[in-house]
A and B are shown apart, each in its own frame.
Chain A
Amino acid sequence: MKRADISRLVKDNIIIIALALPVILLTMTASGFMTVSNIKNIFIQISLYGIVAFAMTISIIGGEFDLSVSSLLGVVTILFTDIAKRVNVPVAILVCVSAGIVVGLINGFMVSKLKINAFVATLAMMLMLKGFALTYTNGRPINFPNPALNAFGNGDFLGMPNITLFFLGAFLITWYVLRNTKFGRNVYAAGGNLVVAKMVGINVDFYKTMLFVILGFATSVAGVLMAMRLSSGNTLFGGDLTMSVVAGVVIGGTSLSGGRGSAVKTFWGMLFIGVLFNGLQRLAVQANWQDVIKGSILIVVVSVDAILAQKIPLSQITTGRKRKEQISALPRDV
């Protein structure tokens, strides 16, 4: 193995090394950290957000970003609880999933067809969804204690929590789609170099729209599961979703500049977030301080990502002035 290969291996798996640190520290300091029940607990904590994190991974690899998922999650929990209460569960699921997909389609339309910057488009969507949720509930939670649903949301299957199975399912599907399907590979191409992807005939608008649709779908699944688990729908649910998810994705090593990343990285990244917050809880850190830490992590991670993106050797840069330097590094016209 060459030295360069080793250094790349280390760089690619830095998250696992980073994960080892809190794990070791917590095993030593917090009693009961390294127990089966606590590990299960960590997985339960990250499962629902993790489902969204995998969809966010696809979207960030494709070069887009969605702020509206945090409001969408709340909307879905509300819709599910209310419709399950008034009509029945299958209809509730159908409505929620459709809502997620429709929101995704609208976001995708705004970004790919109207060419509105994804941040702004999804910011507006976030506001509209929040307004919708508050209008719908008048700001109050909707409760629907249904034993069957609750049992499903909190239940186990072969010793694995049901929601963790969904999480693992989302992980495997994302991993496979990103790795071995035409769709996944073209998402990498579109995020890696939009101009070239367009040039070779990849339908970029379709892919961009699909990124948001997948996010909407994943968020609706997570929302339905959350509503089952908590027997309740609430505007406040998912308030920190975007933040946790983006932090997890970027910590894992998927760059915000697009075209690079993987489901495996996000798996480790979310696990890191899970361990960290489990640790903070075990060390009895107050919830508000946890928010402070969460926000700070996001800031640090994004800053480091931005700096690293600028440090990539010239030969790897594809846009702007640096792209030109790369090209003009070739002798050309006399």
Chain B
Amino acid sequence: MEVAARPKDSIKNRIVDILSNNAILFLMLLLVSVVAILYPRFLTLANFNNILNQISVIGCLACGMTFVLLIGCIDLSVGSMMSLIGIMAVTVANGGREWLAIILPILAAGAIGLIKGGIIAGVNGRLGESFITTYGAQSVLAALALIIQGGLFMMVTATGIFTRIGKGANPAYVFFALIVICQFILTKTSFGRKLLFVGSNPKAARLSGVNIKFYFLMAFMMCGLISGIAGVLLPSRVMSANPTAGTNYELEAIAACVVGGVSMKGGSGSFVNTLIGVIVIGVLSNSMNLLGLSSYPQMIVKGFVIALAFALDVVNKRRQMQRG
């Protein structure tokens, strides 16, 4: 056999491996046990529902973000896009056309995603370019939301279908459905396979006759469409929309993906990773809520968790490299 011989890992090595590969999960387990001991309320069905409600909208956003990360890019503008979409949806819904209020904003979000993807594909960009262009797009979309709405809260006055989709467990169903559908697309269709291949090595994909620009476009469009879904769910759940509703949501979504194990280098990760990451972030937020931390210090913790997730990712890669 010509296959490179794998050195036999010692037990110690293997334990270190398991620990470092899943460090975030172990930390999470630790946190959960501490919180569960301090606050018995943590392990109740009601709190479980609570967590589900909290994670659903972010979870949808993270699903969209996963497409972009898989192709080796990032989208910092999904949060402000959500705000814009929310306003659009509520405006249409309050005008009485509730089905349209669901479909139109999602399509609009897809179109915006297509524009972003067009720019990235046009300049042959990857992580760096997508970082800066979508950072610019964030400002544009946020400002457009403010222009349209004038900085005010907007109550949902509609009473039909639009108000129901965000109620109760519906967002959670949408989120889980998205995870299943996206995972199916990624692993079971030729589209998903090519997307993964392009993300893993765009040059090789091109030299295998794959239209790589198309997949950059599609990744951003999928991200747009799914952020659009999140953008419709949010106002339906909270019964209002405002131009800053989605601020910082993109960071939560990125944090979830990365913590779950979707690589920023592209081509590695799946929606199962995203699901894990979303749950981890959700449990973390919930625990912090129970511990009485306000949303502000929670930002510090989340920033730290992002940095930690990346540092661990880099350290693990280096350990793998060293051992060949």
- List A residues at the B interface (Cβ < 8 Å): 65, 67, 110, 114-117, 119-121, 123-132, 134-135, 138-139, 240, 242-243, 246, 256, 286, 288-292, 294-299, 302-303, 306-307, 310, 321
Contact = CB atoms under 8 A, between A and B. Distances in A.
Contacts of A139: 296
Contacts of B300: 127-128, 131-132, 135
Residue among B296, B314, B318 with the most chain A CB within 10 A? Answer: B296
B311 A114 contact: yes
B303 A124 contact: yes
Interface of B is mostly: helix
Contacts of A296: 136, 140
B147 interface: yes
B294 A292 contact: no
Given A65-B128, A115-B314, A291-B143, A299 B133 contact: yes
Interface string B120-163: 00111101110111011111111110110000000000000000
A307 B129 CA distance: 11
Nearest to B317: A115
Given A117-B264, A121-B307, A306 B314 contact: no
Given A127-B303, A302-B132, 8 more contacts: A117-B127, A119-B131, A124-B306, A125-B303, A286-B147, A288-B147, A303-B119, A303-B123
A115 B316 CA distance: 12
Interface of B: 74, 119, 122-125, 127-129, 131-133, 135-144, 146-147, 203, 248, 251, 254, 264, 294, 296-304, 306-307, 310-311, 314-315, 318
Contact of A134 (B125, B203, B296, B311): B296
A12 to B, nearest CB: 22
**Complex A-B, nearest 9 residue pairs according to Cβ-Cβ distance, in ascending order:** A131-B299, A128-B303, A295-B139, A127-B303, A298-B136, A291-B143, A131-B300, A295-B140, A134-B296
Contact of B123 (A289, A291, A306): A306
B240 to A, nearest CB: 19
A240 B123 CA distance: 24
A126 B303 contact: yes
B313 to A, nearest CB: 8
Given A125-B303, A131-B303, A306 B125 contact: yes
A31 to B, nearest CB: 26
20 contacts: A114-B311, A114-B315, A119-B128, A121-B310, A125-B303, A125-B307, A128-B299, A128-B304, A131-B303, A243-B135, A243-B136, A256-B128, A288-B144, A288-B147, A292-B143, A295-B136, A296-B136, A298-B139, A302-B136, A307-B122
Given A288-B147, A295-B138, A302-B133, A119 B307 contact: no
Contact of A303 (B133, B143, B248, B303): B133
A120 B310 contact: yes
B296 A131 contact: yes
Contacts of A110: 307, 311
Contacts of A120: 264, 306, 310
Given A296-B136, A306-B125, A307-B123, A124 B307 contact: yes
Contacts of A307: 122-123
Contact of A131 (B124, B141, B147, B298): B298
A130 B295 CA distance: 11
B314 A116 contact: yes
Contacts of A298: 132-133, 135-136, 139
Contacts of A295: 136-141, 143
A116 B307 contact: yes
B299 to A, nearest CB: 3
Nearest to A128: B303
A306 B139 CA distance: 20
A288 B146 contact: yes
A310 B124 contact: yes
Given A130-B299, A135-B300, A294 B139 contact: yes
Contacts of A138: 296
Residue among A110, A128, A307 with the most chain B CB within 10 A? Answer: A128
A291 B140 contact: yes
